[in-house]
Amino acid sequence: MTHTHHNSPAPKARPEFGLIIVGDEILSGKRADKHMPKAIELLNARGLSLDWADYVGDSPERITRTLARAFESNSIVFSCGGIGATPDDHTRQCAGKALGLDIVLHPEAEALIRERMQDTAKEQGVPYEPDRHDNVHRLNMGVFPVGARIIPNPYNKIPGFTCQGAGGGVVHFVPGFPVMAWPMMEWVLDTYYPHLFQKAAWIEKSIVIYGSMEATLTPLMETLERDHPGVKVFSLPSVDHPEHGRHIELGVKGSPDHVALAYPAMLSGLQTFGLKFGPELVRE
């Protein structure tokens, strides 16, 4: 395999944010995914948003294909799960295959894993035996694609890692355990991407509409997106809302300046339909 170093997580301007969740236990329903709501929360707190998410079981072929797409996507991606050293953990090996790189024991990861093993031995009151089979096996958790950068793990020191693909996509690999993954995701965002933060730079305004169909409103939505390219227009229909019953929430979202122009234009356009309106909503 080719030895190519990708040392700097620096994708092109205005990348999307993506999320990959790995594990049969999620797809089988044995565990409920908690990572996507948390990723949305962490991104929203920084004025960012999640653009896409993929769920994949413990199939090496599927994981490799999913990661290959991520590395070519010019996205900033978090991959949660499958980086342990048990037989059903394939993510580290699949990352190497997706990148066309060998996987090797990372020296910083090795030092941190050995430090963790010494801590564990001390806690248990037993001597640390570095050459014991299980301890040697644990070093596999530090085997990453060549050129990977580590992500510190404040919970137990076993690191995650970051790789960048030739297509510009950067994937940050963290464990499946939320207690470890979430602080590591925060560290990644605050360490590598503060220049992308847009706090207080996003607003959403909408209105509840009764007695209309989405198809009726589509021409207005298309006109708004054409005339106001800085906003996204959204339509959220509901058939059994406990307060509003059957209705459509129609709105625009984007920077405050763009929304300040697009939202009045939307309200003006709605007047021609003779509809009944409910409350107006604002989310920041």
Tell me the average pLDDT of the chain: 90
Token pair belonging to 211:
């007695």
- Residue 124 backbone phi and psi in degrees, to 5: -85, -5
Q: Say if residues 230 and 265 touch (Cβ distance below 8 Å).
A: no
103 has a pLDDT exceeding 70:
yes
| Model confidence, pTM | 0.77
- Closest by alpha carbon to 144, among 130, 129, 158? 158
Instruction: Give pLDDT, residue 274.
Output: 86
Distance of CA 109 to the CA centre of its chain: 23
The three-point CA angle 226-227-232 to 5° equals: 65
Give the torsion sign (CA, 48, 53, 59, 62): negative
CATH topology of domain 16-196: Molybdenum Cofactor Biosythetic Enzyme; Chain A (3.40.980)
Instruction: Give pLDDT, residue 270.
Output: 93
Residues 6+ apart with CB under 8 A from 107: none
The three-point CA angle 73-40-238 to 5° equals: 105
Q: What is the secondary structure of 77-111 as a DSSP string?
A: EEEES--SSSTT--HHHHHHHHHT--EEE-HHHHH
For residues 106-113, give the mean pLDDT. Answer: 97
153 has a pLDDT exceeding 80:
yes
Say whether 211 sits in a helix, a strand or coil: coil
Helix then strand then coil, in percent of the chain rounded to 5, is 40, 25, 35
Q: How far is the CA of 112 from the CAs of 55, 105, 183, 196, in angstroms? A: 30, 12, 17, 30
Q: Band of the pLDDT at 268, cuts 50, 70, 90? A: very high
For residues 85-107, give the mean pLDDT. Answer: 96
Q: Where are the domains of the chain?
A: 16-196, 203-283
- Closest by alpha carbon to 23, among 155, 158, 152, 175? 175
5 has a pLDDT exceeding 80:
no
For residues 117-146, give the mean pLDDT. Answer: 93
Q: Say if residues 207 and 280 touch (Cβ distance below 8 Å).
A: yes
Instruction: Give pLDDT, residue 7.
Output: 45
For residue range 222-248, what is the model confidence (pLDDT) as tens digits?
999 999 988 899 999 988 888 878 899
Task: Identify the CATH homologous superfamily for domain 203-283.
Answer: Ribosomal protein S10 (3.30.70.600)
Q: CA 153, CA 158: separation in Å to the nearest integer? A: 6
Distance of CA 48 to the CA centre of its chain: 11
